């Protein structure tokens, strides 16, 4: 690589492993430092939209993703009591590469891909002083709690967004196919979609709450409490909630989008730079986009110029995505009955009379291909 031949990545998540493979395929020597003792079966479901899939394809991992994921066919919005509102047909997108996958399965694809490209992965490697990391470049891909972000942007306290979430996996018989479903209610919503050939269903329930008072941001939740909080939802939701055994709960926190994404020999990537709310399903795809753009800039520019290019290309887009995600939360949680009725009526009419227009509103998001069709292998 032109800018950095020896790179250290802090964090072995989606963004960290993706940027490691992207840089290694371009000739860099890359080491990933992951604080967990093993990169294994953690997390739950996530969505990879066409813009994120473009990066996986460019990294030579598209076929592996397809083999381990459920292809998305639609996103169906439901009123929590009255049922279907509108069905957004994902097959109408220009690219049909919309996928639902278990996070652990995607991590395994990326881990294997990184190691195949020559990346060294060190687990149990906790970093407290990023300045002590070796390399021409140190990339902080270590999430909301990034140890690198404060050094570039100063001390900041993540702020509570006023929302808490529960996450669970339940058995599924596959009858729904590749449909994600969003049950919308006053100040709450429930998202569900299939994983692993339809044998599992991923559930994410979100509720507005004044404060988050537990000592940790994430902890084991209470399935009965989850059911009680969503007891007024209809039969479809109750069937899923009734199957929940283990559930995690966490407060939704985030920083503002970082002002400085790269400086000196340090750079931020993914949630370390722009943690987002999960209401547009773009966390993984944004990290993948970051990984490609940073590696691409490093390949053709000296380090200072590469970091400027990376920031200029990524910060405006990440900001727009985060604002759109925050807007979705508001739309899902409408509580004033006349406004709620008007909004749902407009969605029904749009879906019936102008289904293509309904889908074209996502062109700016899903139609982005940061690879410009390039493939590294």
Report, as residue numbers or ranges, the catalytic residues. 193
Gap between the terminal Cα atoms of the chain: 16
Q: Which helix (H) or strand (E) holds 234?
A: none
Counting beta carbons within 10 angstroms of the beta carbon of residue 161, is it exposed (0 to 12), middle (13 to 18) or buried (19 or more)? Answer: middle
CB 11 within 8 A of CB 34: yes
Distance between CA 121 and CA 256 in Å, rounded? 30
Q: Which helix (H) or strand (E) holds 40?
A: none
Tell whether the torsion through CA atoms of 272, 276, 282 and 286 is positive or negative: negative
Tell how strand 29-34 and strand 159-171 pair up.
unpaired
Distance between CA 172 and CA 194 in Å, rounded? 8
């Amino acid at each position: 690589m032109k800018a950095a031949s020896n790179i250290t990545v802090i964090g072995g998540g989606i963004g960290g492993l993706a940027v490691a493979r992207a840089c290694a395929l371009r000739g860099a020597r890359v080491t990933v430092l992951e604080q967990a003792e093993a990169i294994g079966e953690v997390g739950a479901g996530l969505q990879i939209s066409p813009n994120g899939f473009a990066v996986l394809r460019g990294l030579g991992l598209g076929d592996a993703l397809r083999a381990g994921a459920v292809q998305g066919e639609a996103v169906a919005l439901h009123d929590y009591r009255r049922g279907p509102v509108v069905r957004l047909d994902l097959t109408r997108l220009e690219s049909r590469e919309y996928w639902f996958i278990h996070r652990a399965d995607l991590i395994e694809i990326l881990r294997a891909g990184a190691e195949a490209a020559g990346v060294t992965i060190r687990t149990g490697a906790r970093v407290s002083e990023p300045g002590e990391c070796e390399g021409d470049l140190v990339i902080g891909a270590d999430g909301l709690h990034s140890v690198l972000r404060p050094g570039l942007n100063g001390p900041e306290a993540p702020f509570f967004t006023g929302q808490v979430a529960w996450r669970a996996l339940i058995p599924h018989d596959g009858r729904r196919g590749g449909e994600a479903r969003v049950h919308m209610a006053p100040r709450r919503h429930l998202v569900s979609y299939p994983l692993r050939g339809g044998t599992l269903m991923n559930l994410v329930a979100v509720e507005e709450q004044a404060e988050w008072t537990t000592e940790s941001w994430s902890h084991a939740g209470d399935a009965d409490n989850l059911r009680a909080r969503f007891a007024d939802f209809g039969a479809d939701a109750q069937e899923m909630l009734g199957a929940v055994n283990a559930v995690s709960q966490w407060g939704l926190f985030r920083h503002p989008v970082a002002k400085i994404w790269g400086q000196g020999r340090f750079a931020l990537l993914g949630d370390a730079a722009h943690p987002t709310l999960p209401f547009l399903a773009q966390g993984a795809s944004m990290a993948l986009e970051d990984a490609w753009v940073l590696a691409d800039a490093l390949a053709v520019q000296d380090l200072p110029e590469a970091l400027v290019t990376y920031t200029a290309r990524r910060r405006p887009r990440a900001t727009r995505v985060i604002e759109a995600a925050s807007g979705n939360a508001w739309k899902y949680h409408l509580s004033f009955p006349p406004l709620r009725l008007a909004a749902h009526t407009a969605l029904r009419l749009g879906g019936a009379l102008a289904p293509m227009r309904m889908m074209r509103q996502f062109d700016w998001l899903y139609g982005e291909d940061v690879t410009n069709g390039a493939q590294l292998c």
